[in-house]
Structure 1
Amino acid sequence: MSEAIVLRADRWVDIDAGVVRSPAVIVVEGGRITAVSPAEVPANATEFDLGDVTLLPGLMDMELNLLIGGPGGPDGLPNPMHGVQDDPVYRTLRGAVNARATLQAGFTTVRNLGLMVKTGGYMLDVALQRAIDQGWHEGPRIVPAGHAVTPYGGHLDPTVFQRLAPGIMALSVAEGIANGVAEVRACVRYQIRHGAKVIKISASGGVMSHSTAPGSQQYSDEEFVAIVDEAHRAGIRVAAHAVGDSSVQACIRAGVDCIEHGFLATDESIQMMVDHGTFLVSTTYLTEAMAIERAAPELQKKAAEIFPQAKAMLPKAIAAGVKIACGTDAPAIPHGENAMELIALVDRGMTPMQALRAATVTSAELIQREDELGQLAVGYLADIIAVPGDPSEDITATRDVRFVMKEGRVYKHA
């Protein structure tokens, strides 16, 4: 290709203005957008006339785990024994396959929120991010968390997913198991030292683990404060798996930047998120689509109790004006089906344009890259996808991605 690329299409979404404009003419040079609807385009540019489609900024998924799920599991979902049967090399190769599926679905930026497997301290998501950044493999831009910081027996302690006996699989601070203020500080420092760009905390119990009750707070307030202090002094944001209301409030008070799930958040907690500017990644689609029939009976029972409450919480958060970013918790749903989260957000009360904002500008703000990601605007990175129809009217169009460009390189084109 020549140095300049021109994309033409019938429409494009102006996310900042909240409107769809026609026609679309976008000039890309050096991996960035250099002109939108210019009077003239560069001579000898490579042109793509995409026809009757709408151009969008690349979508973003703010909670997934590329290192589990995907090939080798039923319907692309995790093998229940993933934590003990897969070695780190095999797991990373699986992650590469899942990364490609995610990019092909139009999601050009993701947060990989927390390894929860034994790796000997190796940061598999950081390695995958480096390989993608260096062009060795196709995949989205990854913001890696390294290992999730979790107490012994916490929701993201790998041994509780299979209820392993004591001593079967020893885990270290380097692998995320940390108890007490001194250990959580050391754990955060380790993740950052070896490449983590966000810190993930297991703040409460969860639904799909043999851990404490989903609503129970798993770290003390002092431990939360220590984790946030270590991360923020390094310029790193903190995301917390927090299902229970008390844990949501404790995280907000400690300065956690983003609540993951928040399923049992009360009206008071929702207002705290608004007042503190705390982000919410609600992962709402999994509450209706997760294959819980494969889970143990006691986990199915938890899901039957928690998921309806989660569905009722999100419309309140939307109405209150919480900053909601898009996240799926894939492979809770299969990798590559990420756009189903946007459809679920609309089902819970967002307009299609609000859902598009959640997966673009709000997500870009969450990872502190709102000045170069999330919009089709001059100076922004050329992350551009194309879908049929008008996604501002029919959000289901985001499931049919016809064209994918990331930083000026075309990865999918009919």
Structure 2
Amino acid sequence: MQTARLALVLPFALAASLSAQATDAPPPSVSVLHCAHLVDTAAGKLLGETTLVVEGNRIKEIHAGTVDTKTYSDAATARGANFSYRNFTRGTCLPGLIDAHTHLTSETSPTGFTDQFRWNIADYAIRSTVYAKRTLLAGFTTVRNLGDTANESIALRNAINAGLVPGPRIFTAGQAIGTTGGHADPTDGYRQDLAGDPGPKQSIINSPEDAWKAIRQHYKDGVDVIKIMPSGGVLDESASVDNAQMTIEEIKAIVAAAHDYGYTVAAHAHGAEAIRRAVLGGVDSIEHGTFMNDEDMKLMKEHGTWYVPTIIAGKYVQAMAEKTGYYPPQVAAKARQVGPLIQATAGRAYKAGVKIAFGTDAAVYPHGQNAKEFEYMVQAGMPPMFVLQAATTHAAELLHKQDQLGQIAVGRVADVIAVPGNPIEDITVMQHVEFVMKDGVVYSDKD
């Protein structure tokens, strides 16, 4: 009888304890941010003096000009809340940036092709925490992670979400999906007894049926998006950078399965035929698109397909290809093909009216240099405001998070960065982020 009584009492006692803890929780902190300028990414305008009031993890108020900070300070103190004030007298505030194409669990290195035989997955995972922090401090509060080795980016995402390590908000694809011998095949270049025959569980497919198995495995693994490899690529040890490596039927099966499970599909595609198949197959975005032709651009406009150029990656691999021994010979040869073309392709796609979202292929170049892409996009003929929108409102739309991310607005999550000067006049200031707030928490403040 006593045991039964305890069984009834304990849940109520626990509920009372939790209620008391909730009552005792401190009120959310209040921050007032005064900005000399504010980029209104939704309207595509540069505003003058603007003050943001952040409470907890949300934007609570936005005021033109200045406010009486003492009023907010006194109110916060009266409630027992922490108060902070920052005045960016020469700075411009923007929403936290979004990089729609990263690989946070690896980084370029001349020993990268041999490290995979010496390092454990734990080595990559630990290093990923460094790369994640570096990315966040560069002003990128959200990323789409498009491929890893063994789902280690899922663990990284979970650790960041739990507050264990600092880093951007991650939407991860886990392992990229490809075909035998294709750009996603992790055993390309291995000797025969090590190569084996990876299958759908390892993200390698060779039929529409395999495609469904691979997507269902990704769902089981807990990914956020899907990444496929319908064309050759630069940094694998196969011969072609642009040949088509998936059939339309395989791509359609991947897209159908992915959309069933609520995923968007990003397609790594350098070659024109691979791009055509991917667009007709229903993918949501084309990544890189180096050899994209006029027909591809027309199809992308008709289908509403996004384009993520990754100009910085092309330029970086071209430069490294000239360093003897940095890449295997066949990789260096492909890098010399892609590097000189990718920026001009991005410029043509912009002029053709293709939808463009910001992405860099971080890891192909050192993490933290993501904002160099803004400069390259402007050089390609895109206006400064457009490239800022590409990394905010456009990328948020690509992620289907336009109601949450990509702009500073009352009620939105408090992702705010500040740069010195005016990025509309000088886009290179985006490479010198002085303040980073993600989800209401300040991670960098150099002012």
TM-score exceeds 0.5 = yes
Residue 66 in structure 1 maps to residue 104 in structure 2: yes
In the alignment, is residue 373 of structure 1 matched against residue 405 of structure 2?
yes
Q: Deviations over 1:78-135 (max 9, x none)?
A: 72224332211111111111000000100000011012x3x3xxx2111110100110
The question of whether the paired residues in 2 share the 8 Å contact of 1:155 and 1:212 is answered with no
1:184-223 to structure 2, matched below 5 A, reads: 184-223=211-250
Q: 1:268 aligns with which of 275, 283, 295?
A: 295
- Does the aligned pair in 2 maintain the 1:154–1:212 contact within 8 Å? no
Residue in structure 1 matched with residue 379 of structure 2 by the alignment: 347
Aligned pair partner of 1:135 in 160, 163, 173: 163
Q: Residue in 2 aligned with 1:23?
A: 49
Q: In the TM superposition, what is the alpha-carbon distance from 1:342 to its structure 2 partner? A: 0.9
Q: Distance in 1 between matches of 2:403 and 2:124?
A: 34
2:283 to 250, 256, 263: 256
Q: Which of 277, 288, 299 is matched with 2:315 structurally? A: 288
- Name the SS of the counterpart of 2:307 in structure 1: strand
Give 1:154 shift: 0.7
Letter in structure 1 aligned against 2:145: N
Residue 178 of structure 2: aligned partner: 150
* 1:104 corresponds to 2:104: no
Moved more, 6-15 or 383-392: 6-15
Decide which of 380, 391, 396 is 1:359's aligned counterpart: 391
Aligned mates of 1:318, 1:279 — CA distance in 2: 11
Partner of 2:24: none
How far off its partner does 1:172 sit? 4.4
Please give the secondary structure, in 1, of the residue aligned with 2:117: helix
Residues in 2 aligned to 1:174 and 1:86: alpha-carbon distance in whole angstroms: 22
Contact (CA 8 Å) 2:228, 2:267: kept in 1 or not?
yes
Shift of 1:212: 4.5
Q: Is the 8 A contact 2:316 2:339 kept in 1?
A: no
Q: Is the 8 A contact 2:436 2:445 kept in 1?
A: yes
Contact 1:282 1:326 in 2 (8 A): yes
Q: Which amino acid aligns with 1:145?
A: A
Q: CA deviation at 1:26?
A: 0.4
How far has the Cα of 1:169 moved from its partner?
A: 4.7
Q: TM-score, normalised by structure 1?
A: 0.93
- CA distance, structure 2, for counterparts of residue 15 and residue 156 of structure 1: 35
Aligned partners of 2:296, 2:433: CA distance in 1, in Å?
36
1:101 touches 1:336 (CA, 8 Å); kept in 2? yes
Tell me by how many angstroms 1:351 deviates. Answer: 0.9
Output the aligned Cα RMSD. 1.7
The residue identity in structure 2 corresponding to 1:92 is A
- The 2-side partners of 1:363 and 1:108 are apart by 12
Give how far 1:208 is off: 2.3
| Inter-partner Cα distance in structure 1 for 2:115 and 2:101 | 19
DSSP-derived class of the 1:229 partner: helix
Separation of aligned partners in 1, 2:166 and 2:238: 36
**Are residues 1:88 and 2:126 paired?**
no
**SS of corresponding position for 1:410:** strand
Return the alpha-carbon distance in structure 2 between the equivalents of residues 303 and 2 of structure 1.
Answer: 50
Contact 1:83 1:158 in 2 (8 A): no
Q: Distance in 1 between matches of 2:39 and 2:159?
A: 31
Percent of pairs with identical residues: 39
Shift of 1:203: 0.7
- Whole-Å separation in 1 of the counterparts to 2:220 and 2:32: 41
Aligned to 1:173: 200
In the alignment, the residues of structure 2 paired with residue 222 and residue 2 of structure 1 have an alpha-carbon distance, to the nearest angstrom, of 52
Partner secondary structure for residue 51 of structure 1:
strand
Most deviating of 255-264 and 187-196? 187-196
Structure 1: how far apart are the matches of 2:392 and 2:154? 23
Alpha-carbon displacement from aligned partner over 1:322-359 (angstroms, at most 9, x marks no partner): 11111111111110000011111111011111110111
Contact conserved, 1:2 with 1:46, CA < 8 A, in 2? no
| Alpha carbons 2:343, 2:377 under 8 Å: kept | no
From the two aligned structures, give the one with the greater helix fraction: 2
Q: Are the counterparts in 1 of residues 28 and 56 from structure 2 also a CA contact under 8 Å?
A: no
Q: How many angstroms does 1:51 deviate by? A: 2.4
Query: Any idea what the Cα deviations from partners look like across 1:291-323, whole Å, max 9, x if unmatched?
Result: 223112332222222332323211110101111
- Quick check: which has more Rg, 1 or 2? 2
Q: Partner of 2:370 in structure 1?
A: 338
Which residue identity lines up with residue 315 of structure 1 in the other structure? G
* 8 Å CA contact retained: 1:181, 1:222: yes
More moved, 125-134 vs 16-25: 16-25
**Segment of structure 1 superposing worse, 34-43 or 225-234:** 34-43
- Partner residue, 1:164: 190
Provide closer, same or farther for how the CA distance between residues 224 and 49 of structure 1 changes in structure 2, counting only shifts above 3 A: same
Paired residue total: 402
**Residue 16 of structure 1: how far off its partner (Å):** 1.7
Residues in 2 aligned to 1:193 and 1:305: alpha-carbon distance in whole angstroms: 38
Per-residue deviation at 1:271? 1.2
Which residue of the other structure, out of 21, 32, 35, is the alignment partner of 2:58? 32
